[in-house]
């Protein structure tokens, strides 16, 4: 059986590990990020990959950095055929990339070279892409710049949020691993260089990126809401509160200045934008549950309705 090391941390990576285990390619070692606080109680909990690996009796290591000599030595002693990397969260230095016989293979959530970087799912939605997919990439020192073994695409739903798209891509990534890993290991599948002229980048998301600006078009803001659902959640400031918007749609027409509420009905709260009108359908005040826009409007019936 080929020697495999798997490196990953969140749910996206878990699906790839599931596929490896189910296809009989059980890793000899799993690398994952150290346990961190999560949930409302901020309790220390193991990540999804660690939980799955532990359930299957796979050895787990949680190095703070891959520049640690102990981790490098353990990998050298294992002499793996391949390292599979999926949403791991640590950079792999060259002396780690060089250890596996056939190198390190990354499960990347875009159709490379489009959307290299940390947030390809959100970037694809924000840009209005109609499709995205998974690329199995041979890792090298550059940012997602290595040659690609295989790609598989899927359509982005018209109203699909990033969380839903993430889950579908995670499953697709696992399917691609199960399909193509044998050919990668035996050398019959050769990677092809990326087209550098077509490169786009998806930088790491900051909380401030999710702020809604009414000077944008309504169509862009509708994509913005989908792109940042569920994390970190699109938001706007309203009378000293940070309001999160979980669902919205662009509608035709504009009857006010940007940030002005032009209508509130059972269908939603309509806000004029620089171009078009955004109908907000589901909202959430700090410390409260998500509610329909109609319920939200009822809560704030005596407040000046304009949001910007």
Domains of the chain: 4-202 (3.40.50.170), 207-299 (3.10.25.10)
Closest CA to 5 of 41, 33, 29: 29
pTM for this model (two decimals) = 0.94
Tell me the C-alpha distance between 198 and 188, whole Å: 27
Mean pLDDT of 80-93: 96
The whole-chain average pLDDT of the chain stands at 94
Are the beta carbons of 161 and 171 closer than 8 angstroms?
no
| 286 vs 242: CA distance, rounded Å | 7
Rounded to 10 deg, the angle between the 48-55 and 11-22 helix axes is 30
What value, to the nearest 5°, has the Cα angle with vertex 155 and ends 152 and 230?
105
Position 40 scores a pLDDT of 63
Q: Per the structure block, which two tokens stand in for 44? A: 């220390």
Q: Which two tokens stand for residue 241?
A: 């509160």
What is the rounded distance in angstroms from the CA atom of residue 282 to the CA atom of residue 119? 24
Instruction: Evaluate the omega torsion of the peptide bond into residue 160 and state whether it is cis, within 30 degrees of 0.
Output: no
Contact 105, 139 (CB under 8 A): yes
Using the predicted structure, report yes or no on whether residue 1 has a pLDDT greater than 70.
Answer: no
Question: Which residues of 113-220 form beta strands (DSSP E)?
Answer: 116-117, 131-138, 148-155, 201-202
Crossing angle between the packed helical segments 162-186 and 11-22, to the nearest 10 degrees: 40
- pLDDT, one tens digit per residue, over 219-234 is 999 999 999 999 999 9
Average pLDDT of the segment spanning 62-91: 94
């Amino acid at each position: 059986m080929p020697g495999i090391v798997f490196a990953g941390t969140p749910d996206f990576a878990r699906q790839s590990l599931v596929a490896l285990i189910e296809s009989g390619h059980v890793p000899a070692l799993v690398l994952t990020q150290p346990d961190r606080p999560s949930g409302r109680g901020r309790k220390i909990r193991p990540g999804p990959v660690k939980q799955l690996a532990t359930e299957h009796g796979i050895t787990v290591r949680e190095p703070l950095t891959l520049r640690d000599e102990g981790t490098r030595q353990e990998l050298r002693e294992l002499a793996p055929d391949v390292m599979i990397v999926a949403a791991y969260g640590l950079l792999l230095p060259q002396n780690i990339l060089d250890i596996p016989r056939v190198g390190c293979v990354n499960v990347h959530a875009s159709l490379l070279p489009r959307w290299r970087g940390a947030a390809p799912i959100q970037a694809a939605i924000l840009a209005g892409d109609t499709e995205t997919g998974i690329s199995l990439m041979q890792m090298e020192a550059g940012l997602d710049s290595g040659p690609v073994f295989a790609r598989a695409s899927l359509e982005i739903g018209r109203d699909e949020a990033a969380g839903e798209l993430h889950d579908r891509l995670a499953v697709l990534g696992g399917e691609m691993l199960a399909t193509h890993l044998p050919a990668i290991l035996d050398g019959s599948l050769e990677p092809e260089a990326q087209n550098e002229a077509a490169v786009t980048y998806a930088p790491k998301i900051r909380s401030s990126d999710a702020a809604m600006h009414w000077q944008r078009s309504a169509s862009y803001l509708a994509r913005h809401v989908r792109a940042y659902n569920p994390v970190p959640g699109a938001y706007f400031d309203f009378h000293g509160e940070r309001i999160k918007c979980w669902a919205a749609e662009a509608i035709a027409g504009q009857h006010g200045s940007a940030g002005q509420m032009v209508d509130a009905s059972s269908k939603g709260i309509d806000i004029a934008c620089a171009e078009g009108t955004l109908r907000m359908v589901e909202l959430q005040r700090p410390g409260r549950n998500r509610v329909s826009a109609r319920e939200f409007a009822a809560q704030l019936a005596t407040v000046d309705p304009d949001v910007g």
